[in-house]
């Protein structure tokens, strides 16, 4: 269709320039003018959610009022990626970054634009959270700690934006859903919680922290940090290393796990064929364990030499110091009542 061809060309130009044109605003005005739901959907469907900005609030609210809540909900779902072509017209940013930059203001202004706008704001919030929750789950599930923590840290501002938007439109149920979801995550989620809390603390707000769920978030994070700090510190001669469960329970991983769990064993010489060595290499590297693995190329099969390193102690000391610093900051910035809800490990 002509419209798809025209937008495809605009999308290509946009990717080259890195700028968002005013085409969405024009399309919204045209959608209002045609007074036909199917034609309006055809005009607007190829856009992506990251094209939506403050300048479009009034036009979107009027369009939502003209075509109704169900039509608007489906349009927003499409803008978030449902049933869209790969060249869909948008700014090219990811949804979490768009949420961090735009979501609270958009939701607040849409809510002020009337009933249809308020419904659109709620739908916008729900869809943004669905996407961010998916990204959180993927990050938490990563076996590589540095990647996991970096991804969770990057999602802090988007999470803060979701909670801020929920407070702005009075979406207490969404706020509570977000809080419950986070409480069910395992302890690495503190990287996300701290990032979100720091983002919120750095942003002026005109609502009580409890309205956005940040006090509850701070309490959950503080409880996790206290729990970690309450664990006994590693003894100087304790060389035990935990191998994350992962998805493999093969015999090789069982042998590796026994060596790693041994408090006294520092090295392990393991005659192993190439495929076995590669598998052990991958498990150690994926989990970023403080263990070197070198192949001694003598005899058949070659011998894989594993050695635990002093990094084991250094990492734990750094993690403990970081937890102490974070807990002190939480106590200074937030109300952190002891959390009693069930949470992950």
The answer to the question of residue 126 being in a domain is: yes
Question: How high is the pLDDT of residue 101?
Answer: 93
The answer on 193 and 44 residing in a single domain is no
The answer on 212 and 154 residing in a single domain is yes
Number of compact structural domains in the chain: 3
Can you tell me the distance from the alpha carbon of 61 to that of 66, in angstroms, rounded to the nearest whole number?
A: 9
DSSP structure class, residue 299: S
Q: Residue 37: CB partners within 8 Å, gap ≥ 6?
A: 67, 71
- Beta-carbon count within 10 A of 263 CB: 11
Question: How high is the pLDDT of residue 2?
Answer: 62
The answer to the question of residue 265 being in a domain is: yes
The answer to the question of residue 195 being in a domain is: yes
Can you tell me the distance from the alpha carbon of 166 to that of 173, in angstroms, rounded to the nearest whole number?
A: 9
Rg (Cα) of the chain, in Å, rounded?
Answer: 25
Q: How do the pLDDT tens digits run along the chain, 345 residues long?
A: 566 666 766 655 655 554 545 788 889 999 999 989 999 999 998 888 988 999 999 999 999 999 999 999 999 999 998 655 544 444 445 889 999 999 999 999 999 999 999 999 999 999 999 999 999 999 998 889 999 999 999 999 999 999 999 999 999 999 999 999 999 999 999 999 999 999 999 887 665 555 678 999 999 999 999 999 999 999 999 999 999 877 788 999 999 999 999 999 999 999 999 999 999 999 999 999 999 999 999 989 999 999 999 999 999 999 999 999 999 999 998 876 654 444 554
**Where among 23, 58, 93 does a domain terminate?**
93
**Residue-by-residue DSSP string for 202-228:** TS--SS-HHHHTHHHHHHHHHHHHHHH
DSSP structure class, residue 291: E
Can you tell me the distance from the alpha carbon of 239 to that of 223, in angstroms, rounded to the nearest whole number?
A: 28
Tell me the C-alpha to C-alpha distance, in Å, between residue 319 and each of 39, 118, 146, 324. Answer: 57, 44, 13, 9
Taking CB atoms within 8 Å and a gap of at least 24, the contacts of 8-13 are: 8/87, 10/89, 11/87, 11/88, 11/89, 11/90, 12/87
Instruction: Supply the CATH number for residue 270's domain.
Output: 3.30.1370
- For the chain, give the number of residues: 345
The answer to the question of residue 203 being in a domain is: yes
The answer on 119 and 31 residing in a single domain is no
Answer yes or no: are the C-beta atoms of 91 and 15 closer than 8 Å: no
The answer on 218 and 129 residing in a single domain is yes
Answering whether pTM is above 0.75, one says yes
The answer to the question of residue 134 being in a domain is: yes
Question: How high is the pLDDT of residue 45?
Answer: 87
Tell me the C-alpha to C-alpha distance, in Å, between residue 35 and each of 65, 115, 152. Answer: 12, 20, 44
Can you tell me the distance from the alpha carbon of 233 to that of 236, in angstroms, rounded to the nearest whole number?
A: 9
The answer on 199 and 131 residing in a single domain is yes
The answer to the question of residue 241 being in a domain is: no
Question: Angle of helix 156-168 relative to helix 145-154, nearest 10 degrees?
Answer: 30
Answer yes or no: are the C-beta atoms of 197 and 218 closer than 8 Å: yes
The answer on 42 and 80 residing in a single domain is yes
The answer to the question of residue 217 being in a domain is: yes
The answer on 141 and 48 residing in a single domain is no
**Where among 93, 124, 157 does a domain terminate?**
93
The answer on 179 and 121 residing in a single domain is yes
Can you tell me the distance from the alpha carbon of 113 to that of 107, in angstroms, rounded to the nearest whole number?
A: 10
- Nearest C-alpha neighbor of 98 from the set 54, 139, 68: 54
The answer on 206 and 139 residing in a single domain is yes
The answer on 265 and 216 residing in a single domain is no
The answer on 166 and 182 residing in a single domain is yes
* Structural domain span for residue 255: 251-309
The answer on 203 and 142 residing in a single domain is yes
The answer to the question of residue 243 being in a domain is: no
């Amino acid at each position: 269709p002509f419209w798809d061809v025209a937008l495809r060309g605009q999308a290509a130009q946009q990717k080259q320039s890195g700028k968002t044109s005013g085409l969405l605003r024009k399309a919204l005005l045209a959608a209002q003018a045609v007074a036909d739901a199917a034609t309006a959907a055809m005009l607007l469907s190829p856009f992506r959610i990251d094209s939506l900005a403050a300048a479009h609030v009034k036009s979107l609210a009027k369009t939502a009022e003209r075509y109704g809540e169900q039509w608007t909900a489906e349009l927003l779902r499409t803008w978030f990626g449902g049933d869209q072509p790969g060249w869909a017209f948008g700014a090219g940013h990811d949804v979490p970054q768009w949420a961090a930059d735009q979501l609270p203001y958009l939701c607040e202004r849409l809510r002020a634009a009337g009933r249809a706008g308020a419904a659109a704001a709620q739908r916008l919030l729900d869809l943004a959270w669905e996407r961010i929750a998916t990204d959180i789950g993927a990050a938490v599930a990563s076996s590589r700690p540095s990647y996991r923590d970096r991804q969770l840290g990057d999602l802090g501002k988007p999470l803060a934006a979701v909670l801020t938007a929920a407070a702005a439109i009075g979406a207490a149920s969404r706020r509570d859903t977000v809080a419950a979801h986070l409480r069910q995550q395992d302890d690495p989620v503190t990287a996300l919680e701290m990032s979100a809390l720091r983002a919120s603390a750095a942003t002026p707000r005109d609502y009580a922290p409890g309205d956005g769920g940040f006090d509850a978030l701070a309490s959950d994070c503080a409880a996790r940090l206290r729990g970690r700090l309450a664990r006994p510190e590693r003894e100087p001669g304790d060389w035990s290393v935990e191998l994350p469960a992962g998805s493999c329970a093969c015999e090789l991983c069982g042998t590796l796990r026994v060596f790693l769990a041994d408090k006294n064993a520092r090295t392990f010489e393991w005659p192993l064929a190439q495929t076995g060595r590669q598998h052990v290499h991958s498990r150690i590297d994926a989990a970023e364990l403080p263990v070197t693995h070198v192949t001694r190329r003598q005899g058949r099969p070659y011998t894989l030499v594993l050695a635990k390193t002093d990094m084991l102690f250094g990492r734990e000391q750094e993690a403990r110091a970081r937890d102490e610093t974070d807990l002190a900051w939480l106590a200074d910035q937030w109300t952190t009542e002891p959390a009693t809800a069930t949470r992950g490990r």
